[in-house]
Structures are given as C-alpha cells and as structure tokens.
Amino acid sequence: MRPSKKDRQLKLSDTIKDNPFITDEELADQFSVSVQTIRLDRMELSIPELRERIKHVAEKTFGDEVKSLPIEEVIGEIIDMELDQSAISIFDVKHEHVFKRNRIARGHHLFAQANSLAVAVINDELALTAKSQIVFTRPVREGERVIAKAKVVEIHNDRTIVEVNSFALGEIVFTGEFEMYRSKKSAKDETK
C-alpha cells in the first residue's frame, strides 16, 4: 500500500534535508512515483530543484572560505573544499552546453569547470592560471554529470601546481595540470 501524499511529502522533505544532493530521479525511485510527482511535491513544499539546493549548500559552506574568486563564478557547484589541498565540484551537462548535432559537451565547459576549481582551491586573494596542460579522454554527452577533483600537488613561492581529474559515469573524461600564479607565499613556504 502506498503512503498518503502527506506522508510521502513529509518523508521527501526529511530525505532532502538529510541529502540535499539527491536527484529527482533518485527520489522517484525511492518513493516509487514519477519524477513529475516528485517535482510537484517539491513545488508544493517550496523545496528548490537540485541545482539551487547545491548552490545554497556551497554558498553556506564554502562562500567565506573561497578567497580567489566569488563562489558564484566557479563553473559547476563546489561540494568539498580544503584550501591549498583539494576540492571537488559537480557540473551537470545540459542542452545549452552541447553541440546541437551530436549532443556532445563543448570542451570549453569542461575546461572552465576544471580551471575555476583550480583557481578556487588556492588560498590567496589572487590566483591566475599561468599555464595548463590538458587532455580530453572521452566525449561527455548531454545529461551526464561531471565530477571534477582538484588536488594541490606542489606549492613554490608564487606558483602552485594543481592537478584536476574529471569523471562522468565513473570514467575519466578530462585531466589537467594547472600552474597557478598566486600573489603571496603560502604558509607552507614561509615555514621553510
């Protein structure tokens, strides 16, 4: 027997509070209803769509932490961040990000996600890309979610090397090494 609409909406609200990154599709599967029903329930409950929930969590969690650029200028949504160490962002490839004839994502969107994450992870008010080496390893299609993982691998005076690997459906789709200019020495360099 299916739960009542009221019970479903209460459980839906609790589920989203526990995991704001859950998709409408995952919720539909969990509650054995259509995606449209989930969307209508969210609208009735004034719960924003996934993208807005992620943005809200990122602004609340990382808004004051990211120093090198405003959080809204990061391409994709930051979901984890340790300045001068690592960061993770997600980017959902939508219709406006792909070539019309084949539904493959334009490369500059994947590059922008990786590059802005490399900038955001720098613990400095100024961080600029000095040089990058990138490789696209497979096409990304409309509807796929790209998870970019940045890792700071070296810090030298006014330069930081950041490696970024991006994944879709568990496969690597992009790799990049970014040499970032920063305006000041890091605390790690000052202790040497």
CB burial of 69-81 (b: ≥16 within 10 Å; e: otherwise) equals: eebeebbbbbbeb
C-alpha distance from residue 175 to each of 30, 46, 114, 132 (Å)? 34, 39, 9, 10
Q: Which residues on adjacent β-strands are paired with residue 77?
A: 90
The whole-number average pLDDT for the span 13-18 is 86
pLDDT at 57: 59
Least-confidence region, from 56-65, 156-165, 170-179: 56-65
Q: For the chain, what is the mean pLDDT?
A: 85
pLDDT at 150: 96
Model confidence at 63: pLDDT above 60? no
SS3 for 135? strand
Q: Are residues 10 and 77 in the same domain?
A: no
Model confidence at 62: pLDDT above 60? no
Q: Which residues contact 61 (CB under 8 A, 6 or more apart)?
A: 81
Give domain status of residue 11, yes or no.
Answer: yes
Q: Are residues 102 and 23 in the same domain?
A: no
pLDDT digits (tens, 9 = 90+) for 67-88: 555 556 778 888 888 889 999 9
The DSSP code for 75 is S
- pLDDT category at 60 given cuts 50, 70, 90 is low
- Phi and psi at residue 169, in whole multiples of 5°? 50, 35
> What number of residues does the chain have?
192
C-alpha distance from residue 163 to each of 100, 115, 151, 169 (Å)? 31, 10, 5, 20
Q: CATH no. for residue 73? A: 3.10.129.10
Q: Are residues 132 and 99 in the same domain?
A: yes
Give domain status of residue 53, yes or no.
Answer: no
Q: Are residues 125 and 181 in the same domain?
A: yes
By residue range, what is the domain housing residue 93? 61-190
pLDDT at 166: 97
% of residues, the chain, pLDDT over 90: 48
The domain total for the chain is 2
Give domain status of residue 172, yes or no.
Answer: yes
Structure tokens at 122: 């720098």
pLDDT at 78: 84
Sign of CA dihedral 100, 141, 27, 61: negative
Give domain status of residue 107, yes or no.
Answer: yes
pLDDT digits (tens, 9 = 90+) for 86-140: 999 999 999 999 999 999 999 999 999 999 999 989 888 888 899 999 999 999 9
Separation of alpha carbons 192 and 185, rounded Å: 11
Give domain status of residue 72, yes or no.
Answer: yes
pLDDT at 182: 86
pLDDT at 72: 65
Q: Are residues 103 and 136 in the same domain?
A: yes
Model confidence at 51: pLDDT above 80? no
Sign of CA dihedral 127, 129, 130, 132: positive
